[in-house]
Chains A and B, each alone.
Chain A
Amino acid sequence: MAEVISGPAPYIYVSTRLRVRKAKLLRAEEYHRMLNMSLPEITRYIEELEYKTEIDELAPSFSGVDLLEVALSWNLAKEFQRVLALTPGAMAGFTGAYLQRWDIANVLTVLRGRTQGFRPGKIKEVLIPAGSLDRAVLDRLVVEEAPDRIAEGLRGTHLYPVVERELSAGIESGNFARLENELYKEYYSDLIRVARSGVRGGNEFLQYIQLEIDITNMQNLWRLRSGGATGEIRDFMIPGGRIPVEELNRLGSAETTDEIVDALKKRTNIPALQDAIEELRCGCSVRQIETRLIRFKLEQMDRMSRRYPFSISPVLVYLERKYYEVYNLRAIARGKAANLAPERIQEHLVI
């Protein structure tokens, strides 16, 4: 039977399936209940969910909270791969582009780990093959000794041009931070390109991506400021958002917080975002503001998905919601293992 990869049918099919999957994700009250459980109870609870297969598979190699975390990551990777396999045509291109951030994280972990002389086995433990580079490719990369051999292993992938351009400077300085920043900039520019390529809901997605870029830039502006970075911050800002990089660069050397808050507030007309920006003035921790911005982003996504039910938005919403389910479960388990108070753990949950 021929597969239908154009017209509205694939959108309806994929959106419906992912909406069903999204309905199966954990609800806020379930996280609240878990916050009052002990670690063994949480482990049992997670095992009763869809993570059982991974926990059983990894039990011989890991134990305790490490087992939970690795199992959750493996499940996330498998689920994202399943979504990738489910989406046909232009949607697959879009989903692939959206999941490329996992490739960036994995490639950088391999590069850094090997440069620091860590054993391949140790590096493999921290890889999450949720992007287009599957476990087989990553296994090949991880056994390479030299960074240029790792780069060579990426030839033909979307990451290769940036890696090739920035690698020698990274090897010389022993620092791959610039390479990492450039890869993320390229990632966002790819997303913008894909959003403009004619997928359904592309325009709305483009607006969302611009919002995400703005929020990421705001977070990083704040981080760089509180992290003691002075002067030019242009290189750490992602182009493509609504707030121009030049303005962010100028705000990087602003003398007062009020000046930055006022300038950023003028740049948005979304009340919820304006409220979040206003909180910068009260001296809240960067993390609290980050969590608030993430919640705001997810709400925006949900709104988009409801407005455009048969577009790429439901795919996006499901990917993000799934990611934050794993994130919340891991946060509860890790927080409990570290004896953090439930209120403290709750501060970090994205519900």
Chain B
Amino acid sequence: MALRDIKPTRSELINLKRRIQLSERGYKILKMKRDGLILEFFKVLGQAKDSRGALLAAYARAEEMMAVANTVEGAIGVKSAAFSVKEVPQIAVRQKNIMGVVVPEIRGSSVTKPIVDRGYGVLGTSSTIDETAAAFEDLVEQIILSAEIETTMKRLLEEIEKTKRRVNALEFKVIPEQIEARDFIKMRLDEMEREELFRLKKIKARSTGT
């Protein structure tokens, strides 16, 4: 707001003071929120590191098991067993709130199944198929867990960034401008008061002179 647009009136000064108070309160709250979000972010970051590590390990294990299954059963045997899987894992996404940030809560169902529910017969397959299926079920579980944690982390980061921008705007732009405007109005009002006083003195001097 340019200073020339400001009306140097007493009511404007009162309004401005009220606005400064509000901005300072908002600034403090946003700063607290930012710090809180950063703390929360570091907590999630730790979980994300663990889950990413577990995900990579599960992926490596699944890949290795697939290689072993192809070695033992052949691609033909693996494909034939894969034909029997009909039930696709279901994923339910709900929402939860962390300091005003809406983050997903992802739950998978029918991901890990007991051997008898996988669709293939026990008598016509070998344990390699079981171990490979279990490795891939574990991988899907880890993907779901990582998806939840990493999306939470991403949303928290976005919110931290947004809050930081707001805090900076208040700290370096809004509040200084309001203070400048307040000082300007004060100065103008003081000046006007002095002019008024001077004018009165002049009138008084003139009237006593005549």
Contact = CB atoms under 8 A, between A and B. Distances in A.
Contacts of B119: 175-177
Interface stretch (A27-35, A131-139, A198-206, A216-224): A216-224
A348 B72 contact: yes
Contact of A335 (B67, B115, B122): B67
Interface of A: 66, 69-70, 73, 101, 104-105, 108-109, 112-113, 115-116, 118, 123, 125-126, 128, 174-181, 183-185, 216, 219-220, 222-224, 226-230, 236, 238, 285-287, 290, 327, 330-331, 334-335, 337-340, 344-345, 348
A104 B125 CA distance: 12
B121 A180 contact: yes
A73 B76 contact: yes
Contacts, number: 131
A115 B122 CA distance: 20
B171 to A, nearest CB: 56
A236 B123 contact: yes
Contacts of B83: 109, 112-113, 116, 118, 123
Contact of A236 (B87, B116, B127): B116
Contact of A112 (B76, B84, B126, B134): B84
Contacts of A227: 114-116, 130, 134
Given A177-B116, A223-B115, A340-B67, A108 B123 contact: no
A216 B123 contact: yes
Nearest to B72: A348
B71 A338 contact: yes
A330 to B, nearest CB: 5
A310 to B, nearest CB: 32
A344 B67 CA distance: 11
A30 B84 CA distance: 36
Given A104-B124, A177-B121, A338-B71, 7 more contacts: A105-B124, A174-B87, A177-B119, A216-B123, A286-B127, A286-B130, A287-B131
Contacts of B134: 227
B128 interface: yes
B71 A220 contact: no
A180 B74 contact: no
A298 to B, nearest CB: 16
Given A126-B76, A175-B86, A340-B68, A108 B114 contact: no
A126 B79 contact: yes
27 contacts: A69-B74, A105-B80, A113-B83, A123-B83, A174-B86, A175-B84, A175-B86, A177-B84, A177-B116, A179-B121, A184-B123, A219-B126, A223-B127, A224-B122, A227-B134, A229-B115, A236-B123, A287-B126, A287-B131, A330-B71, A334-B67, A334-B71, A335-B71, A338-B67, A338-B70, A339-B67, A345-B71
Given A126-B76, A175-B84, A227-B114, A334 B70 contact: yes
B126 A290 contact: yes
Contact of B127 (A181, A290, A327): A290
B126 to A, nearest CB: 6
Contacts of A108: 80, 84, 121, 124
